[in-house]
Chains A and B, each alone.
Chain A
Amino acid sequence: MLSSRLRVYRVLVPSVGGQGGGTISEVLYRAVIIERERIAKENGMLDRIAYRTDLEYRYMIPGLAQRNGSVYSAVAFVSPLEFELPERVVIAERFHTASVDVMVAQELAEAVRFAGDGLLKADSTAIVNEHRFLTTVEKMPITKNLIPVDEQIAVLKRLVGRYLGIDAHELALAHGMKPVYANTILLGALAASNALPISKDSYIDAIEERFSGKVMDDNIEAFKIGYKHIMMMLLEDSNRDAGVMMMRKKREVTADTTDITEQSMEEILSRNHRRVMLSRGKRDADRYVELIKRLSANNNNNDSSNNDRSIPDTLIKIIAEGIGQLVEFEGWHHADRYMRMVLAIINIDRERGDGTFRLSRIYAMHLAGRLMRWEGPFEVARIKSRKVITDTLHYRDAYGKGKDVIVKVEALLQPNVEEMYGMVPKRIHDTICRLIPSWPEYIERRRYDGKPISIDLTSIGGYIRLWLLWKLSFMHKHSVRYNKEMEFVEHFTRVVKDLAMIDYELACMVADYAQYIRGFAHVRARNIDIFNTLVEYVVRKGLEMDDALAYTDHRITKASLRAAMNLITLDGEGKDKVIKFMDELYTLFKDGEYNKIYARLAMRQLVPL
């Protein structure tokens, strides 16, 4: 019956448009031909394959190449070791489910996509560049985090027989190459993995055939880097006798925050002391030490009275870091205020909490990180003006290797009226308000959207402007803006305290929202506004419903809060969506259609942004 059961190899190369996936497959295709001719020559069979024209194919679906869309190319070939060749071969076909032997992916998310379509065989080999090129949609929303790289890798490992991960992008940069050479590194990895019956020399010959001049030399070098890297990895793995192979490397886009709890207390103290010392002088540095002493004294006092209610180390570390940042940001009085507020919450935590001090941790972190340390003109002037020299040196190093280079740094600023007015001392503002009652409305209404000012920070004329602003920062704590922000902080604390009395969990959720109060000028104002909406609309109405239905665990409030968080994208529409959603829920509640409420809530929580 059917005679020939040839060994056919199918190699899939998923990539992002413009990265050069097509070229990988082209080189691979050439390598196959070279390998076949070489083996045939060795066996004296060259004439048998010389006029066979359909033993190997390479195709690609360019889609929207160059434009960062999802593209793929593919190579299919009859094993070069086969000599019992039929009259013709039919393999030039779009790959189907469970047909791919080897995947050489240039991007992790693309590898996941093609593996997710089920194209790979269960015993396939996947060589994956673990570098991520983020998509537009991934970069947009604020409340949705990226899918962790580790999770994606774990899923991939389950779907393929052999997984070889390599951060080729970083590897190329580490060897002083352009990121495009990551592709050739992957090809080297493919050669080293031995997944295809093609020898290393054939690949190098194919690269020589495809490129010329310096580009060829660089590509061969990159190929050897990839080859060596995987060889070393395999060697290590075989030494460890591990089943699954991968390169372990610290990645950037994985964890949500830098874990401060991993640092030692001494490290935090010395670092902050140094920073305060350099930027504000010895007096404030001493005050910082004093504040920390007071904090630990406070802890010890409580320690003696109530042993199992002492503040855990992690919380102390967060507070110490927070105090350090705030002393540097504004001065010791600011940090002192912070400490008092945190201690008040810690006391509530002792009474109402479950001993983990979760609420205090969240509160302490966001209060110091976002609420009491926001970027106003003074702060920006301070950061910008002290970074000029380091930046200049940095870029001179990066671009000026062996070249004569000078680097100019230009700041792009657009101080709008709100920001500028925020710097005015409160007393003056109050006086104007007394004289002209409509003043606050007038100033609220005005918003300036003009050209940004670009200041050449590497010229003394430009620099001195920011420098002056920096030196005026002692005025900050008297300014209108400072008072406005502190009012909000008080309000926030009040809300958290009140909620902690009702429901600890709920208080944690609301306190956690503080991390989204970010941005400048009206973006920050809008985010604050959304916080108020969450409290006024979601929490208040939710509690009302919970009370009426006698849910002591406040499940409707929590669910609607989670749903509301899902709706908020902080682009100005989120607020309206939340209000509309809660109104809808409330109407259903009034009508007594409770089942619909649950259904709606369940759906909203599931559906991502």
Chain B
Amino acid sequence: MITRERYIPPKGAEDRIRKRRDTLDLLLARKGERIVVDAPLAIIRAALESGISYAAGYPGAPTADLIDMLSESSTLLKDLGIFFESSTNEASAATKLLASVYDRIHGFVNWKVVGTNVAADVLAHITSSGTVGSAVIVVGEDYETESTTVEMKSYMYGKGFAIPVIDPIGSPMHVYRLAKHAFRLSEYSNMPVMLLLRPMAANCIGSIVCEDDIKRPEVSVKDRKSIWEPDLSRYTLTDTAKLHAVEKYSERIPRAMDYIASNRLNDYIIGDSREEKSGSRNSISSSKGSNIGFITHGGIFNSFITAMYELGRADVSGSCVYDLLNLNVVYPIVPEEIIRFAADKEMLFIVEEGAPFYIEESIRSILHAAGINSKVYGKMSNGGFIPPTGALDVDALLESLSRMLSLVEPYYTMPRERLSEIMKHKERAIRSTLKVRVARNPTFCTGCPERPIFTAIRWLDERFGRSIYTGDSGCYTMARLPPFEASDTFTGMGTSLDSALGLSKLYKRRVIAVMGDGTFFHRGVTNVDNLLYNISNDSDVNIIFIIFENYWTAMTGHQPNPASKVHSTTTATTQGEPLSMNYAGEFPTRASIESILRAHGVRWIRRVNPFDFYSTLETMLEAYMVEKGVRVIICDGECTLARMRREQPVIESMIDKGRRVEQVKYRIDEEICSGCFPCEKYSGCPSVTMVKNPNPLRTGYIKQTEDTCTGCGICGITSIFGLCPSTYRVRIVYNPTRWERFMHRLNMYAIRMLMGRGAKVDGWKVESRGEKGMMGRQDGVGGGI
């Protein structure tokens, strides 16, 4: 029996209602309880209710949260005996689905939309074999490129590999409902099922009512099976693969269609104008059909209804004036459903997002085959009502829908009037703010260990000519933006070194490739081999390969990777070996990037501490001077954000306990800063802001440091512009030793003597800001709101 009390110490019922409920508590909610969750947690809940035995994934926006939450609840997973793996890439994660192929074992994997490409090879095999247990693939679909670099659909994999694709309506309630169906559908149809989660839905909080208690899996890590009786007909080889393909399309897909139709996974909404006549909702009555119908899909259903509402043809409860078919399962599309819906329609409007338009194509061919002659409007013919590419949000839909409606009801002008009203409102807003808008681009955090490297690159390139910069996926992608503008190419995860090889063979220039540690372990390692294998010893390639070893996969929210270090003193390190940490809370041996590279045959490797800027610069200069072969620089500095979050509370408690603590802050002297600002293009630190020059005879602004400074000192190295002495360092020593205090007093006394009355001259004082808070914004996440 799974009870909360085993995991959470009882505090009294009332207390629990009032206090924030953490992931674990929410997952332990009982049947019938109403809980507030976001969509990823709803999926985990649905999975636990379905009795999964394994979960795996590679984190990536928009579903990076899902893996984090699994990690947070690792005690529960361990207790239930669920195998949870933080894979280093999507292909490894996809391979875990194999467990469902040979036995009735359930589980799910997760990655983001472009991750499907990495996992595609594995998926092709798994889908060929088919599964016995249920296997769900949760994909962070991102057609609107909120957090992804390319506009692509996972649908093509669904269609190509025969994986049912569920595209739920974007709210936790629907995601939860359909996630449960996904597991059942997978088991029923013997196919892995893809569940798409879009950014809007993935970051949405809503409430769900739990349909079930969570279940212990039948086969678990604790209760392992002793019998291995594989059904070798599932083995993918030429002879079986042919049979698999037949099975796929003659058995599994029809079964899936059967499930979809019988469980009504797709929503039929009968036009409200006829509601009195037909009387019932959610049941189609083809005999009393009106002649107009809309077909849309789950991901854009909410936008569709809201746009219709704005045009006066729907209301917020989801009822529409016209008949509506909402496809929550976009592949396979059940022909009977479409035919039934379209049979009595004269006009059929298909509202589908983006290109290529699979849904519209399928529906058109179904209708053609069935000999139904309704006029179909969508993207393809009759003027193309829906924009062929791009995300369909309400604003994008308004125009398309009003054009459609004017075709349906040509004498009714309300939608068009409403549209022009909205357009006018938007135009006015845009026009009036044109001159006061500010472009805001993301930049490296205060104290980021990557900033010094780009400062050095910029400084060296000004002297030795511009290099080609091959970028990769991670925080360093932001080097594309001002102030550094040092990233020229981007070709997906872990490929910067490959791009560098190609470019350096074809261009007579220095190529600088950058990669983070997470990306390196994801796919970068193979790149190193590819590179070394394809250049001879006397080849004149000129590549500098910089690896940012910051111990975390920082871009997606500080997930551990094989290079992560354990900092907690409570974990026992057996032989003094540095340990790593994984999601499941276990401590494997830490991978050393340096040793890997040496073993693979790289000779020139240097390790730098980015905060020691001058030695970094010297090393970089050395790399620049070699001008031949591959030079690897490992930038060894922990992500400051992660470090500060961990260390700040410790430091504060140490100060309170009376221990000696030294803190460093950098400041800018407002009397000396002349406001010339070339320094800013080498740093771009968010903690540096501008205030107007306090000297009344001087115009313009000067720099000022906010209190969020972490003391990395990169602003202090602006002296590379000649003598710029405006930055100074403040060392604050809390609880100094007696000797220190004595010497300090003595020194200050002597200085006072030397200074004489000159000390009394007051400088130009700018009103100080940010002196009071200790850390300001940096610890904002854990601190105040």
Contacts and interface: CB of A to CB of B under 8 A. Distances in A.
A384 B432 contact: no
A170 B781 CA distance: 20
A169 B706 CA distance: 12
Contacts of A411: 725, 728
A523 B676 contact: yes
Is chain A's binding surface mostly helix, strand, loop or mixed? mixed
A415 B201 CA distance: 57
B272 interface: yes
Interface string A39-65: 000000000001101101111111111
Interface in B146-181: 146-147, 170-173
A61 B422 contact: no
Interface stretch (A453-461, A493-501, A593-601): A453-461
Interface residues of B, number: 162
A607 interface: no
A443 interface: no
Contacts of A5: 315
Contacts of A93: 170, 200, 302-303, 306, 393-394
Contacts of B318: 86-90
A398 B483 CA distance: 32
Contacts of B393: 93-94, 96
B316 A91 contact: yes
A184 B440 CA distance: 24
B402 to A, nearest CB: 13
Contact of A151 (B436, B724, B735): B436
Nearest to A276: B761
Which of A60, A99, A460, A524 gathers most chain B CB within 10 Å?
A460
Contacts of B707: 179
A520 B437 contact: no
Contacts of B697: 260, 318, 321-322, 325, 365-366, 368-370
A198 interface: no
Which of A93, A134, A158, A184 gathers most chain B CB within 10 Å?
A93
Contacts of B750: 460, 463
A189 to B, nearest CB: 13
Contact of A386 (B759, B766, B770, B784): B759
A403 B482 CA distance: 41
B677 A389 contact: no
B719 A464 contact: no
Interface size on A, as a range, is 35 or more
Interface stretch (A206-214, A284-292, A300-308): A206-214
Interface in B314-356: 314-319, 321
A252 B784 contact: no
B671 interface: yes
B733 A407 contact: yes
B693 interface: yes
A413 B206 contact: no
Contacts of B475: 67
A255 interface: yes
Nearest to B694: A258
Contacts of B20: 209-212
A159 B736 CA distance: 55
Contacts of B301: 90
Contact of A218 (B147, B440, B784): B784
Contacts of B732: 395, 399-400, 405-407
A51 B751 contact: no
Contact of A181 (B316, B437, B759, B785): B785
B24 interface: no
Given A122-B425, A571-B681, A57 B205 contact: yes
A552 interface: no
Interface string A377-415: 100101111111111101100111001111111111111
Contact of A53 (B203, B206, B780): B206
Contacts of B674: 370, 375, 518-520
Contacts of B535: none
B317 A86 contact: yes
Interface in B423-458: 423, 425-430, 432-445
A385 to B, nearest CB: 7
B219 interface: no
Contacts, number: 530
A444 to B, nearest CB: 14
Interface string B390-422: 000111001000000000000000000000001
B72 interface: no
B692 A137 contact: no
Nearest to B310: A96
B277 interface: no
A395 B442 contact: no
A96 to B, nearest CB: 3
A318 B761 CA distance: 21
B747 A409 contact: no
Contacts of B557: 65
B441 A53 contact: no
B433 A115 contact: yes
Nearest to B696: A260
B130 to A, nearest CB: 35
B425 A53 contact: no
Nearest to A172: B773
A527 B676 contact: yes
A355 interface: no
A570 interface: yes
Given A96-B393, A406-B744, A449-B720, A118 B752 contact: no
A416 B719 CA distance: 9
Given A1-B321, A66-B641, A97-B425, A412 B305 contact: no
Contact of B61 (A62, A260, A460, A570): A62
Given A135-B438, A318-B697, A452-B719, A412 B725 contact: yes
A257 B675 CA distance: 13
Interface stretch (A24-32, A344-352, A503-511, A583-591): A24-32
Contacts of A91: 302, 306, 316
Contacts of B733: 405-408
Given A209-B18, A520-B721, A177 B314 contact: no
Which of B172, B200, B442, B727 gathers most chain A CB within 10 Å?
B442
B740 interface: yes
A116 B426 CA distance: 8
B586 to A, nearest CB: 27
Interface stretch (A13-21, A229-237, A240-248): A13-21
A369 B719 contact: no
Interface in B738-785: 740-741, 743-744, 746-748, 750-752, 754-755, 757-763, 766-781, 783-785
A178 B774 contact: yes
B375 interface: no
Nearest to A258: B696
B209 interface: yes
Interface string A172-212: 11001111110110010000000000000000010011111
Closest 6 CB pairs of A and B: A521-B722, A69-B442, A116-B433, A369-B697, A519-B676, A86-B317
17 contacts: A60-B203, A67-B478, A91-B306, A96-B306, A118-B425, A147-B438, A179-B708, A180-B780, A219-B785, A278-B761, A384-B672, A387-B763, A399-B734, A406-B740, A460-B747, A460-B750, A519-B674
